Amino acid sequence: MLLNVNGAQHAVEAAEDTPLVYALRNQLGLKGTRYGCGTDQCGACYILLDDRAVPACDTPLWAAAGKRITTVEGLGTPERPHALQRAFIVEQAAQCGYCSSGILVTCAALLARNPDPSDVEVRAALDRHLCRCGTHNRIVRAVLRAARELRSGQAA
């Protein structure tokens, strides 16, 4: 099966009902997409599927075929991080980092459809994500910082 991941085509050999998270991590080596609960309850595995945040643990390969898949690795690079990645660093929004990749791609989807979200809208977008480190307020501040940066044109 061919998958378009982070702008490149990849051949994946697995059953069509294999969860996308396994193909991303085990076959493509994209370890940023975390396996958390396997039941769409924690948010650690979220990726963008045609610019919509979805759980990779609950998305079979057949549902991803022919669509654009973006993982946290596809948001930015170490040389040119996404505005959200920069804001997470500035706001110290990640502690252990396990939930961060899912949160980052979910927030990227939010900012793509709403470039000026309110505090309440950010919190609503993050409702499906569990962070045991308790950095929720820092995460919200980081998302709002990134939104301001993107709107001002400072983002690379």
What is the C-alpha to C-alpha distance for residues 27 and 20, in angstroms, rounded to an integer? 10
Locate 48 and state its tokens. 């963008």
- Digit-coded pLDDT (tens) for 84-103: 999 999 999 998 889 999 99
pTM of the predicted structure, to 2 decimals: 0.94
- Check residue 93 and give its pLDDT: 95
154: confidence class by pLDDT, cuts 50, 70, 90: low
Domains and their CATH numbers in the chain: 2-74 (3.10.20.30), 83-152 (1.10.150.120)
Please answer whether residues 40 and 55 qualify as being in contact, where contact means their C-beta atoms are separated by less than 8 angstroms: yes
